[in-house]
């Protein structure tokens, strides 16, 4: 495929993980420099007013746990309840009637906030790999607690960074939402991965590695621009070894992943000028049948928010991406980051 965008024709690629079509449109292509984000007016709250800062713990909803567990003012991470939860953690909420075909369920679930640092003006990637690993392990510790509830079917870990990525707080944080249903995007992903497996006998994410799409690698993970990236400069971080659930990650792999995440976030931030972004951990539903294990493979999706979704995308479910992923991969691969691992 020609690397000069002027020689390229539009191409429609199928994302075999999400079963959706993406239009790569050279006519709409712009140079990566055009994607550098404008300064995000995210920091509307002065740090002295921020409830997530050290010293303001009393302004937050109740704490679930902190890291280290016995720490006082010297905590590194706090997992707290969301002050404005989308779902209710009250167990009596599960008592509603559900005949399996009702269109409404009680809104039982968990909506927690992970405060990633006591300091306000730091980014996740400013921390050492060991501290980033602590954040990943805090997610896992909370998922293990949530797993005790049979009525919880799916746990979504996500991070909004920057106002145009949906963040209302500029203090470094992420969120964990535990749902009593398997969300439609997850079911669609499972169906699509199952179809690929039935056709090829292989897990689609075990096949993700393609040299021109690789951005960086670690011992246990590969960071790629996905072949049919929905968004410009979208990045997936995929475990090399087949694994269905994020919460199965052990300490050694968490540290390895943290080192790679740090590098990837630094690369993205330097090439795209600290863009607003969303980071999602895509894992398998909690109650997975053993027959589904061979084709479910967890991964992290990072989406810098550089374009707007318009009527075409809402109407068709197809996306137009002006940047071919092999070009995005090259731009990100070429940033040199001192060894972080
Ligand atoms: P985001 O809007 O993505 O930045 O996530 C921040 C989350 O923190 C939101 O879901 C808020 O509901 C939640 N939140 C805001 N203030 C507090 C607080 N004082 N204690 C606990 N959660 C809070
Ligand atoms: Zn703060
Ligand atoms: Zn796999």
Tokens of 110: 């968990």
Positions marked catalytic: 173
- Amino acid 104: pLDDT: 80
What sign results for the dihedral spanned by CA atoms 249, 251, 257, 258? positive
pLDDT above 60 for 21: yes
Q: In this structure, are residues 133 and 77 in contact, taking their beta carbons and an 8 Å threshold?
A: no
CB-ligand 1 contact for 174 (6 Å cutoff)? no
CB-ligand 1 contact for 61 (6 Å cutoff)? yes
pLDDT above 60 for 171: yes
Q: Which of 44, 81, 113, 171 to mutate to test the pocket of ligand 1 (most atoms within 8 A of CB)?
A: 113
- Least confident range from 52-66, 232-246, 299-313: namely 299-313
Q: Is residue 208 in a domain? A: yes
Angle made by CA atoms 261, 117, 237, in degrees to the nearest 5: 15
Q: How far apart are CA 250 and CA 258, in angstroms?
A: 12
- Least confident range from 29-38, 179-188, 235-244, 285-294: namely 29-38
- Amino acid 97: pLDDT: 59
- Least confident range from 37-41, 263-267, 281-285, 298-302: namely 37-41
pLDDT per position as a tens digit, 104-149:
888 899 999 999 999 999 999 999 999 999 999 999 999 999 999 9
What is this structure's pTM?
0.93
**In the structure, what pLDDT confidence band is assigned to residue 49 with cuts at 50, 70 and 90?**
confident
Mean pLDDT, residues 22-42 = 66
Range of the domain at 137: 5-90+105-333
Atom of ligand 1 nearest to the CA of 160: 3
More confident residue, 145 or 91: 145
Q: Is residue 97 in a domain? A: no
What mean pLDDT is reported for the chain? 90
- Amino acid 1: pLDDT: 41
DSSP H helix total and E strand total for the chain: 5, 13
Q: Is residue 147 in a domain? A: yes
Residue 20 CB neighbour total at 10 angstroms: 17
Q: Which of 79, 83, 115 to mutate to test the pocket of ligand 1 (most atoms within 8 A of CB)?
A: 83
Q: How far apart are CA 272 and CA 32, in angstroms?
A: 8
- Amino acid 102: pLDDT: 59
Residue 242: exposure state from Cβ atoms within 10 A (0-12, 13-18, ≥19) = middle
Angle made by CA atoms 144, 302, 317, in degrees to the nearest 5: 105
Mean pLDDT, residues 1-28 = 78
- Amino acid 98: pLDDT: 56
- Amino acid 256: pLDDT: 98
What percent of the chain clears pLDDT 70, i.e. is strictly above it? 87
Mean pLDDT, residues 56-63 = 97
Atom of ligand 1 nearest to the CA of 84: 12
Q: How far apart are CA 20 and CA 25, in angstroms?
A: 16
Ligand nearest to the CA of 50: 2
Q: For residue 109, give the CATH number of its domain.
A: 3.30.428.10
Q: Is residue 340 in a domain? A: no
More confident residue, 336 or 242: 242
CA 46 – ligand 2 centroid, Å: 8
pLDDT above 50 for 5: no
pLDDT per position as a tens digit, 279-320:
999 999 999 999 999 999 999 999 999 988 899 999 998 999
How many structural domains does the chain have? Answer: 1
Q: What are phi and psi of 299, to 5 degrees?
A: -160, 165
- Least confident range from 25-29, 212-216, 262-266: namely 25-29
Ligand nearest to the CA of 222: 3
- Least confident range from 35-49, 215-229, 308-322: namely 35-49
Q: Is residue 185 in a domain? A: yes
């Amino acid at each position: 495929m020609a690397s000069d965008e002027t020689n390229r024709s539009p191409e429609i690629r199928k994302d075999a993980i999400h079963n959706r079509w993406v239009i790569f449109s050279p006519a709409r292509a712009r140079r990566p420099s055009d994607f550098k984000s404008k300064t995000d007016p995210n920091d509307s709250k002065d740090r002295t007013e921020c409830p997530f800062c050290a010293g303001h713990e009393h302004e937050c909803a109740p704490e679930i746990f902190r890291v280290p567990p016995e720490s006082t003012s010297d905590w590194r991470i706090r997992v707290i309840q969301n002050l404005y939860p989308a779902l209710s953690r009250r167990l009596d909420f599960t008592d509603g009637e559900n005949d399996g075909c009702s269109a409404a369920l009680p809104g039982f679930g968990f909506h927690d906030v992970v405060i990633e640092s006591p300091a306000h003006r730091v980014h996740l990637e400013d921390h050492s790999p060991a501290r980033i690993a602590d954040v990943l392990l805090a997610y896992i510790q909370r998922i293990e607690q949530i797993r005790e509830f049979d009525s919880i079917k799916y746990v979504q870990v996500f991070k909004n960074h920057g106002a145009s990525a949906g963040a209302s707080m500029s203090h470094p944080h992420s969120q964990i939402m535990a749902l009593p249903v398997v969300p439609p995007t997850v079911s669609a992903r499972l169906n699509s991965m199952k179809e690929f497996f039935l056709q090829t006998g292989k897990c689609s994410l075990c096949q993700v590695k393609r040299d021109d799409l690789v951005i960086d690698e670690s011992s246990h993970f590969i960071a790629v621009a996905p072949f049919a990236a929905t968004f410009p400069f979208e990045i997936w971080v995929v475990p090399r070894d087949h694994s269905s659930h994020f919460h199965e990650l052990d300490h050694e792999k968490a540290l390895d992943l943290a080192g790679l995440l740090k590098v990837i976030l630094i690369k993205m931030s330097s090439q795209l000028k600290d863009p607003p972004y969303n980071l999602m951990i895509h894992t398998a539903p909690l109650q997975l049948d053993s027959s589904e294990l061979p084709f479910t493979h967890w991964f992290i999706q990072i989406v810098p928010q550089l374009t707007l979704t318009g009527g075409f995308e809402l109407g068709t479910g197809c996306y137009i991406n002006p940047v071919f992923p092999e070009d995005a991969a090259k731009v990100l691969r070429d940033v040199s980051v001192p060894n972080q691992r």
